[in-house]
Structure 1
Amino acid sequence: MARKTSVKIARKKQPDSPAKKVRTVKSIKPASAKSVAKKQKPGKDDAGSKKDIILDLLRRKDGASVAELAAATGWQKHSVRGFLSGTVKKKLSLPLDSDRPEGGERRYFLRERS
Structure 2
Amino acid sequence: MNDRFYTWKGFPEVADYVWSGILGYSDDSLPYVGEVIGDKNKFILAGFHGHGMPRVLLCAKALAQLVSGKKKWLEIPAAFKITKDRMENTENGILKSLGTPSSDVAKL
TM range (shorter): under 0.3
TM-score (norm 1): 0.26
Computing the radius of gyration over CA atoms, which structure comes out larger, 1 or 2? 1
TM-score (norm 2): 0.27
